[in-house]
A = this chain, B = another copy of it.
Amino acid sequence: MTLYFLIFAIVNSLTEENYLKALLNLSNVDGEVNVKELSTVLGTKMPTVTSMMQKLARKKLVHYESYKPPKLTDKGRKEAALIIRKHRLLEMFLVQKMGFGWEEVHEIAEQIEHIHSPAFFEKMDELLGYPKIDPHGSPIPDRHGKMHWQHHSKLIECKPGSDVQFCGIVNSSDDFLRFLNSRDLRLGAKIHVIEVEEFDGSMTVSYDKRKRETFSRTVCERLLIEK
């Protein structure tokens, strides 16, 4: 009975995991995370967030003081990163080994990421050849919860005549993924920059079978590339 308690005491509930994950994701985007924002992305009300922050503070996963933005502790950040690791490995697996489109996988990964089975994730990692980035180009934290942000250039920084490889996107959203799909632009595509329009920053490029596509500055700022 006691042993049972000890084993499960170290495991966070699914709900807690979602809060930790949101905290890490939002802090990557914004730097600071506030209660309002958390309640929006998690689909709960602010008082719910407040009480969860208090709970996570008791568990030393979050630094929390009334009326100040909550911040992950090192312990909390590590646990969050490990959940994100699972999420991104899953997305990778769903795309590469099961043939899903990258716009379909987020929701599925969201559900499976909470399962507790080191063997399962080890195996996936192995089958995928220990990938460093997920299908959206975001880094996959290592098994210790460290995130290695490789610096990728953005398409917008490239000069006419450059040949680069499309390797990820900034700020993945369903709309954006659908846009890329509609242009048949897939991860790994070799892009040739034909010309850059001075006055609005739009770029005309070719890749795969697309001989001439023009992307707006907004799009080009969100496409990560490798030379």
Interface residues of A (CB under 8 A from B): 94, 97-100, 104, 107-108, 111-112, 115-117, 119-120, 123-124, 127
The residues of B that contact A124 with a CB separation of less than 8 Å are 98
Given A99-B123, A123-B98, A123-B100, A111–B107 Cβ distance below 8 Å? no
Please give the distance in Å from A59's CB to the nearest CB on chain B. Answer: 23
Copies of this chain per assembly = 2
Please name all residues of chain B whose beta carbon is closer than 8 Å to the beta carbon of A99 when the two chains form the complex: 123, 127
Query: Chain B's nearest CB lies how many Å from the CB of A3?
Result: 15
Q: Name 20 interchain pairs, CB-CB below 8 A, sorted by A.
A: A94-B120, A97-B97, A98-B123, A98-B124, A98-B127, A99-B123, A99-B127, A100-B119, A100-B123, A104-B119, A107-B117, A108-B115, A108-B117, A108-B119, A108-B120, A111-B115, A111-B116, A111-B117, A112-B112, A112-B115
- Secondary structure of the A contact surface, majority rule: helix
Min CB distance A95 to B, Å, is 12
Q: Which residues of B contact A115 (CB under 8 A)?
A: 108, 111-112
A162 to chain B, nearest CB (A): 37
Determine the residue in chain B with the shortest Cβ distance to A117. B108
Q: Once the chains are docked, how many angstroms separate the CA of A5 from the CA of B107?
A: 20
Hey, which chain B residues are within 8 Å of A117, CB to CB? Answer: 107-108, 111
Chain B residues, Cβ within 8 Å of A120:
94, 108
Q: B residues within 8 A CB of A119?
A: 100, 104, 108
A-B contact sample (13 more), CB < 8 A, given A100-B123, A108-B117, A108-B119 = A98-B123, A98-B124, A98-B127, A99-B123, A99-B127, A100-B119, A104-B119, A107-B117, A108-B115, A111-B115, A111-B116, A111-B117, A112-B112
Q: Hey, which chain B residues are within 8 Å of A94, CB to CB?
A: 120
* A94 to B187 CA separation, bound complex (whole angstroms): 27
Q: How far is the CB of A93 from chain B (nearest CB, A)?
A: 9
